[in-house]
Structure 1
């Protein structure tokens, strides 16, 4: 809608349209996608809260900065998916949105990797993942939790 030549946003609340309200519960799920078919191997995370799912990843290489972004894919054909119940999926998704485009400093395979980013998102959602685990330990944990 225009006011003169200026575009304005009009919020219409009538007419049986879908509500914009947040879900009453903060609970949801997260899925860690462990992609063994890419070189190098990669992990990303999708969080579902209410009727929305956001799939993000941390990206970077040795000698480069690590940063968060929406997942760009494509996945390989060898992906192990580990799903977690999140007591606070809202907080996890807000963390994903707030950190999109943010630099986490220098990429480090052991301490600042795609797997450590997934663990950060899970912690924000209320999953008890010990701090200080390095990438290989996190990947082992994720695989164990997959069963």
Structure 2
């Protein structure tokens, strides 16, 4: 689902945009999520970095740690004002993420450390059982002044 609404204000036009897609909880689904998010951000005229990295990490976590056979995960992008919110909802509400630092010799476990470094804010929201939503917000740069 892709939706855009605009409401007229004084001189600023407030736009609310959203994009949402169900993806298979596989490495292929996670890659597709990153590609679709990147293309949607380009369509909206927004920068793709660091959002593409955040989407990649959250989608990979959903495909790896939030996977339940036969149940998809949802990727949603919201733009409200100057904030991009990325949400990934999976069906493993019993497995909450933590951004603890992994051991130096660990081969995985750095995804949320990256999200923590790249996002301005992030967290997890328990959703109706058995789901959870991991979200991250990025503050977008103000639009350049018109000449």
Q: TM-score range by the shorter chain?
A: under 0.3
Give the TM-score of the pair, scaled to structure 1: 0.27
Q: Which has the larger radius of gyration?
A: 1
Give the TM-score of the pair, scaled to structure 2: 0.27
